[in-house]
A and B are shown apart, each in its own frame.
Chain A
């Protein structure tokens, strides 16, 4: 019963990078369990290797050692193609600079993950439009990224992350490039999505952003520690 509720579990994750003759120890004995429907922030200053952790959670990179199970699937055993399939099914990415393809319309950008998932043309269109409506951009579907504001772009990126109906929404500094007001709007959207039952993992250096989450873990120098947000930690790490 407990196991079924677990979406993501990491046990003793280590990551080394070769640096000259030596091996740099990047991630140190990470233990992390995320349950379905959770809203988790991973909070850490720059240089704390939170991006490396995100790459491993997102199956873009594999750990040197340790167990990582995503939705019951052991990640270490998968080939590149299987990893790609896993990403396509289970994970929706939202990046700091929305990372939309500039030559595609908002709708085509949202369709992109479905292309790789092998969804038919008609179905793609329907789902992309539905998802853009969900993020409140039904009137911007045929706009190109440079015709959209930063907040709108980020919402297109969120729609793109959600269109494949992934079990995990993985966001890396989703408000990093936005002003405070639009940042708040985007964070409100994440909260709505979490209220709808989506699992959200958000990586940030901004304690205000992290405070939207129901649970926060800290990463410093590649070490993870579970913790409450305290006022003594101040505003932001950055």
Chain B
């Protein structure tokens, strides 16, 4: 019994070395055979790691940018098209609210001494926005409450605008024209780092002006979109209810006048979408895997057909049928293993390279910024 087992183990070892030498002796063919598996495994690993890395970055930026904020979009009723400054102040006075930033957008034509740029996205904000995003300004000053109250014509511009309209000169203190109206440039916005989700969702503003000024330029007197910053420790679901109640009262309990969106809600939707995408990609990649498997199957079939002589000879030399079957099984097993392991290595390598590439991108941006400020 024991002897029999030893004999079988020895046979397994012999089979292994025979299969390995067969594979190594047909290097080109073996490589082509495992190529399918290799590509399949690589694709699955690279795609899944990339997507999960991306969703990780996305949700962490959600956490940092979106924690403790609510965004409110107002469609308004016939009687009340939006929120007045007084309404916003009333909301600000709620216990759970730390502050509010209105978001008034317009698209305009910028010009400066003969140079111009059309269809520029301009965003009206208040001073509180700059309190919450302290690193938004690179140079110059921010918008002050007095700018809001007296609707001054001041603006902050980003790097793109600075390079296009103020090439070679310091824009702070200069004047430029927004739709023909002269504005004083009071500051330069810092370049946003990586994927700022807020920017992604609202679109990056090239120019920021006081929201009251923006309302005037839009010929409007009500705000239709704003962000609520919650007081520390406030629960976003509860806060959303309180704000909804307050605003319901303001809109005389008419329905469908506004929507309050919590960031966690957006994040949940985003995450479920991302996981759907990653499942889909993995599914597509596993088709490559199946095709690779078929490749090995096909190759083994060819091998068996072309090695009938060898099979017959081995039988004549006393090989039991299972010993011959074992050798072919071992060969396909080894091929799949080699392909799979190479695929894992390559997939991990590729993911790592991708990760390095995106990190480098970030780093070079930081580097460029550092150079510019010195």
Do residues B314 and A87 form an inter-chain contact, with CB atoms below 8 A?
no
- 1/0 contact trace for A66-96 toward B, CB 8 Å? 0000000000000011001101110001010
Interface residues on A, range: 20 to 34
B residues 24-65 near A (Cβ < 8 Å) are: 25
Do residues B22 and A93 form an inter-chain contact, with CB atoms below 8 A?
no
**Residue from A103, A115, A120 having most chain B Cβ neighbours under 10 A:** A115
A residues 103-141 near B (Cβ < 8 Å) are: 103, 112-113, 115-118, 120
Bound Cα distance A113, B315 (Å): 10
Instruction: Please tell me which stretch of B181-189, B245-253, B319-327, B342-350 contacts chain A, meaning at least 4 of its Cβ atoms lie within 8 angstroms of it.
Output: B319-327
- With A116-B323, A120-B10 as contacts: A103 and B22 at CB distance below 8 Å: yes
Do residues A99 and B320 form an inter-chain contact, with CB atoms below 8 A?
no
Secondary structure class of chain B's binding surface, majority of residues = helix
- Of A103, A116, A120, the contact of B319 (CB 8 Å cutoff): A116
- Of B22, B309, B310, B318, the contact of A116 (CB 8 Å cutoff): B318
Do residues A84 and B321 form an inter-chain contact, with CB atoms below 8 A?
yes
Do residues B316 and A58 form an inter-chain contact, with CB atoms below 8 A?
yes
B residues 295-322 near A (Cβ < 8 Å) are: 309-310, 313-322
Bound Cα distance A85, B317 (Å): 9
B135 interface contact, C-beta 8 A: no
Do residues A112 and B316 form an inter-chain contact, with CB atoms below 8 A?
no
- Of B7, B25, B317, B322, the contact of A112 (CB 8 Å cutoff): B317
Among residues of B, the one whose C-beta sits closest to the C-beta of A88 is B318
A60 interface contact, C-beta 8 A: yes
B149 interface contact, C-beta 8 A: no
Nearest-Cβ distance from residue A74 to partner chain B, whole angstroms? 19
Nearest-Cβ distance from residue A137 to partner chain B, whole angstroms? 19
Do residues A115 and B14 form an inter-chain contact, with CB atoms below 8 A?
yes
Bound Cα distance A22, B316 (Å): 29
Do residues B10 and A118 form an inter-chain contact, with CB atoms below 8 A?
yes
- With A99-B309, A103-B25 as contacts: A80 and B321 at CB distance below 8 Å: yes
Do residues B313 and A60 form an inter-chain contact, with CB atoms below 8 A?
no
Do residues B319 and A84 form an inter-chain contact, with CB atoms below 8 A?
yes
**Residue from B11, B22, B314 having most chain A Cβ neighbours under 10 A:** B314
Do residues A112 and B11 form an inter-chain contact, with CB atoms below 8 A?
no
- With A99-B309, A103-B21, A103-B25 as contacts: A116 and B320 at CB distance below 8 Å: yes
Do residues B321 and A116 form an inter-chain contact, with CB atoms below 8 A?
no
Bound Cα distance A164, B317 (Å): 9
Do residues A84 and B318 form an inter-chain contact, with CB atoms below 8 A?
yes
- Chain A residues with CB under 8 Å of B313's CB are 95, 99, 101
- 1/0 contact trace for B1-20 toward A, CB 8 Å? 00000010011001000000
- Of A116, A117, A164, the contact of B314 (CB 8 Å cutoff): A116
Among residues of A, the one whose C-beta sits closest to the C-beta of B310 is A101
Bound Cα distance A135, B41 (Å): 52
Among residues of B, the one whose C-beta sits closest to the C-beta of A90 is B318
**Residue from B11, B25, B313, B318 having most chain A Cβ neighbours under 10 A:** B318
Do residues B318 and A164 form an inter-chain contact, with CB atoms below 8 A?
yes
- Chain B residues with CB under 8 Å of A116's CB are 314, 317-320, 323
Do residues A93 and B317 form an inter-chain contact, with CB atoms below 8 A?
yes
Bound Cα distance A118, B3 (Å): 10
- Chain A residues with CB under 8 Å of B309's CB are 99
Do residues B317 and A87 form an inter-chain contact, with CB atoms below 8 A?
yes
Nearest-Cβ distance from residue B26 to partner chain A, whole angstroms? 9
Bound Cα distance A136, B363 (Å): 73
Bound Cα distance A103, B27 (Å): 13
Among residues of B, the one whose C-beta sits closest to the C-beta of A115 is B14
Do residues A88 and B321 form an inter-chain contact, with CB atoms below 8 A?
no
Nearest-Cβ distance from residue A128 to partner chain B, whole angstroms? 13
Nearest-Cβ distance from residue B13 to partner chain A, whole angstroms? 9
Do residues B21 and A93 form an inter-chain contact, with CB atoms below 8 A?
no
Nearest-Cβ distance from residue B250 to partner chain A, whole angstroms? 87
- With A60-B315, A103-B25, A112-B314 as contacts: A118 and B320 at CB distance below 8 Å: no
- Chain A residues with CB under 8 Å of B315's CB are 60, 84, 87
Do residues B14 and A93 form an inter-chain contact, with CB atoms below 8 A?
no
Bound Cα distance A30, B318 (Å): 25
- Chain B residues with CB under 8 Å of A113's CB are 317-318
- With A99-B309, A118-B10, A118-B11 as contacts: A84 and B25 at CB distance below 8 Å: no
Bound Cα distance A103, B25 (Å): 8
Bound Cα distance A236, B228 (Å): 108
Do residues A87 and B318 form an inter-chain contact, with CB atoms below 8 A?
yes
Nearest-Cβ distance from residue A84 to partner chain B, whole angstroms? 4
Among residues of A, the one whose C-beta sits closest to the C-beta of B21 is A103
- Chain A residues with CB under 8 Å of B318's CB are 84-85, 87-89, 113, 116-117, 164
The 7 sampled A-B contact pairs (Cβ below 8 Å) are A60-B315, A84-B315, A84-B318, A84-B319, A87-B316, A112-B317, A160-B317
Residues of B within 8 A of A (CB): 7, 10-11, 14, 21-22, 25, 309-310, 313-323
Residues of A within 8 A of B (CB): 58, 60, 80-81, 84-85, 87-89, 93, 95, 99, 101, 103, 112-113, 115-118, 120, 160, 164
